[in-house]
Amino acid sequence: MRADAIPSPTITTSTGAVIGIQADGIARYLGIPYALPPFGERRFDLPQQVPAWEGVRDASAFGPTAPQDPYSGDLGVLLGSVEIPGDDILTVNVWMPAGPPPANGRPVMVWFHGGALERGTPALPGYDGTAFARDGIVFVSVGHRVGAEGFSVLDGAPRNLGLADAAAGLRWVQREIAAFGGDPDRITIFGESAGGALVAALLCRPDTASIPSAAIIQSGPLEASTPQRAARVTRALAKELGIAATRDAFAAVTPRQLLDARRRIAAGATALSSTPGYALAVDPDSLPVSPHEGLRDVTIPLIVGTNTDEYRLWLTPAELAAISPTKLLLARVAMKLRGSVVRAYRAALPGAAPGEVLGQIVTDRLLRAPAIRVAQARTAPTSPTYVYEFAWRSPVRELWAAHAVEIAFVFDGVRTASAAPLIGDNPPQELADAMHGTWVRFARSGDPGWPRFGADRVVQIFDGVVRSQSLPRGAALDSLG
């Protein structure tokens, strides 16, 4: 707790009263449970309602983090991690302006963190909601199960439990946010990477689709897997542990044993020869349609975008340099791509080395192409879609505009110590002002201030100069089909 922080006003929710901390005109209410701890008899089950408590609950600190191992190697340095012990992992955190809200309440933004559905927590310093609250937003972040606890595909257990947690957290926001001065009819949900995938999935679930008034998807994979494909990592864990891929068998081993097994399986993998990861599964009860198809029918304003050089977070300069023309050819054959695709990307990236061409193709297939297809399919006047590309180049480790580099700009946190490992010591504050300000404007009005995506394929570029232009590398992207 900061030395100058004081107790915030007590707020009464439907399950009980909470008191947080307040400093510099911002009140924070952290670690508020929206569901019971998902362990013991509740392990591998849907999130369960929190019973009412007596007295005033202390909400001055983040709740425990979901079971996970930190990133290793370079990624561990770039992304960092936080570990808070305990079982009460299904919590929300609220930042709000101190003082009475306007009569109709303040706009609300709800953040879902990234981490490949395997890592991440709202307690990371980079997800501090202070800048949003400073600008009149009630900001909420939601913790959920990750990894084997949240995304195993088990006989006898519901699918997509981490998504079910996110849905329960969003329903909590709709139900309780008025007590924090928020307007439940103006809720913008947003997330990055796996968090963006959760945002897309929440828009495609019947129980949550009607809650948000707008959404932002930052570098989020939009295609959910078949249950059989999503179960690959579960089957690998079961084989490693010598158990059946059932709820009872997985519940009989500890979260630590599952994490250790996952680490053993992943040992020695690289970005281009990785073991299967966790994925959302299409499922009639929890995700009836893959978002890459379902988003076209979602009738709210949507921002969707990617970073120019997503792949550079996962591939070091040395690994990129090691990709020869022969390896590029073999990868093209393995991905069943026409030779014209590589030619189109070489034309769009003059002078690029084979590793850069391959990295761009792979990440465009995963992230950028699905986002553009969704934008092109959303043509109804009630479904305005706005596309961006984050292009500012970080000087750290030749990351350039890699995956996750935009987050500090969105949160207006480019001058914080936690941001420096990813973006360096002298990032442009003007770009943070522009990007953060755009997100706030969108939450207030549903309009980010640049043209909606249409036949002219206009995209907003966030770089040293913020500008609107025609879709960059459009011909290369079109070559993917």
DSSP state of 177: G
Longest dimension (CA), the chain: 67
> For residues 412 and 165, what is the distance between their CA atoms, to the nearest angstrom?
27
DSSP state of 15: T
Angle at 414 between CA 22 and CA 219, to 5 degrees: 105
Q: Are strands 214-218 and 11-13 parallel, antiparallel or unpaired?
A: unpaired
Question: What is the enclosing helix (H) or strand (E) of 162?
Answer: helix 161-176
* 3-class DSSP state of 217: strand
* Active site (annotated) includes residue 193: yes
> For residues 208 and 177, what is the distance between their CA atoms, to the nearest angstrom?
15
Q: Which value, in Å, is the radius of gyration of the alpha carbons in the chain?
A: 22
Question: What is the enclosing helix (H) or strand (E) of 360?
Answer: helix 354-363
> Are the C-beta atoms of 111 and 196 separated by less than 8 Å?
no
> For residues 464 and 98, what is the distance between their CA atoms, to the nearest angstrom?
34
CA 368 from centroid of its chain's CA atoms: 15
> Are the C-beta atoms of 220 and 199 separated by less than 8 Å?
yes
Catalytic pick from 141, 152, 193, 394?
193
If we measure between CA atoms, which residue out of 387, 439, 395, 391 comes closest to residue 413? 439
Backbone phi and psi for residue 155, each to the nearest 5 degrees, phi listed first: -65, 130
Give the residue carrying structure tokens 């972040």: 141
Sheet holding 91-97, edge to edge: 6-7, 21-23, 26-33, 91-97, 138-142, 106-112, 182-192, 214-218, 302-307, 385-390, 458-462, 467-470
Tokens of 161: 């439990």
Backbone phi and psi for residue 12, each to the nearest 5 degrees, phi listed first: -105, 120
Catalytic pick from 118, 149, 192, 310?
310
Q: CB within 8 A of 116, min separation 6: which ones?
A: 193, 194, 277, 278
> Are the C-beta atoms of 204 and 291 separated by less than 8 Å?
yes
* Active site (annotated) includes residue 403: yes
> Are the C-beta atoms of 42 and 48 separated by less than 8 Å?
yes
Catalytic pick from 113, 144, 292, 403?
403
Active site residues: 193, 310, 403
